[in-house]
Amino acid sequence: MELITSRRNPLVARLRALHQPKGRREQGLLLLEGTHLLQELIRLGLRPQQLLATPAWLERHGGLIDQAGWPLQPVGEEVLAAVATTDSPDGVVATLQRALLPQAGGRGRFVLALDQLQDPGNLGTLLRTALAAGVDEVWLGGGADPLQPKVLRASAGAALALPLLRLPERLDLQPLLEQAAAAGRQLVATLVDPAAQPYWQLDWSQPTVLLLGNEGAGLHGDLAAMASHRVTIPHSAAVESLNVAVAAAPLLLERWRQGLNAAAGA
């Protein structure tokens, strides 16, 4: 195809609109940036709707495109920079139909419920940990859009593999939590509370919904009140609380650890 070199090309405006939630909703597309996310698309068997790459990128990585047989639009460096959200893009972006991603159905045995997480970097890091820990679904009560470019990059593509359900407000989680409790799942709230149970004492092998709170305000009181179990991560009093993405790692991976121990003892 002919190389696009003008930033005034209509394609640039359409893809720049994907930087914002409104543009992603209206077009039903996501914007993916960088070689690593393209490699994740190949691994997941997802086909982009459109791929934009500079000649320099094609010289280095053209074999990826040949291997996948994806639609390609060559663009100049300035055009690529206008489309990307990063300051120093590596030469390639793609669009992906949102409908191709897995959808949460409220039936996962291990669910992560997030109360209005605001920081895209935190959310992306947390989603990557959730995928590594074998989480089945992620429910988001408001907060950052998990399919915005910054979250996709921070998650290293995990946001493309996890079934996600994003609700408009934090308390919209309540009906889902009620249904989960009625189905026999334990609802586990993470709190900064010395009286709460250390997280490793909980039986994580049970069907579980783990609730994590907002970076500043923590878990909303109405959501915490629904919990059947309350756990804490004991730590030095030198800090009041842990970053939510940091705190999530031992909690999520404890289930995996307990499963390995049970298998070793069988």
> What pLDDT, in 10s, does the model give residues 191-211?
877 788 999 999 999 999 999
Both 214 and 149 in one domain: the answer is yes
In a domain, 181, yes or no: yes
In a domain, 125, yes or no: yes
Both 139 and 220 in one domain: the answer is yes
- Domain range enclosing 39: 10-100
Is a pLDDT exceeding 90 seen at residue 247?
Answer: no
Both 119 and 238 in one domain: the answer is yes
Both 65 and 123 in one domain: the answer is no
Is a pLDDT exceeding 90 seen at residue 153?
Answer: yes
Residue 151, CA distances (Å) to 5, 110, 197 in order = 29, 22, 31
Burial label, 204 (beta-carbon count in 10 A; 0-12, 13-18, 19+): buried
Under the banding of pLDDT at 50, 70 and 90, the label for residue 238 is: confident
Q: What would the mean pLDDT of 228-251 be, rounded to a whole number?
A: 84
What is the phi/psi pair of residue 179, to 5°?
-65, -40
Considering only residues 195 and 167, tell me which one the structure prediction assigns the higher pLDDT.
167
Is a pLDDT exceeding 70 seen at residue 73?
Answer: yes
In a domain, 3, yes or no: no
Both 20 and 119 in one domain: the answer is no
pLDDT value, residue 178 = 96
- CATH number of the domain encompassing residue 244: 3.40.1280.10
Is a pLDDT exceeding 70 seen at residue 266?
Answer: no
Q: Dump pLDDT digits (tens) for 12-55.
A: 999 999 999 999 999 999 999 999 999 999 999 999 999 999 99
d(CA 211, CA 230): 10
Both 46 and 147 in one domain: the answer is no
Which residue among 65, 100, 135 closes a domain? Answer: 100
DSSP H helices in 45-76: 55-68
Burial label, 154 (beta-carbon count in 10 A; 0-12, 13-18, 19+): buried
What beta strand segments (E) does the chain contain?
29-33, 50-53, 72-74, 92-97, 110-115, 137-141, 164-167, 186-190, 197-198, 208-212, 229-232
Both 123 and 217 in one domain: the answer is yes
Q: Which residue, among 183, 221, 229, 40, has the nearest Cα to 124 in the 3D structure?
A: 40
Both 131 and 186 in one domain: the answer is yes
> How many domains, the chain?
2
pLDDT value, residue 81 = 96
- CATH number of the domain encompassing residue 92: 3.30.1330.30
d(CA 228, CA 182): 12
- Token duo for residue 166: 């994003």
In a domain, 1, yes or no: no
Both 95 and 142 in one domain: the answer is no
In a domain, 5, yes or no: no
Burial 32-44 (b: 16+ CB within 10 A, else e): bbbeebbebbeee
Both 115 and 53 in one domain: the answer is no
pTM: 0.91
pLDDT value, residue 246 = 87
Both 155 and 236 in one domain: the answer is yes
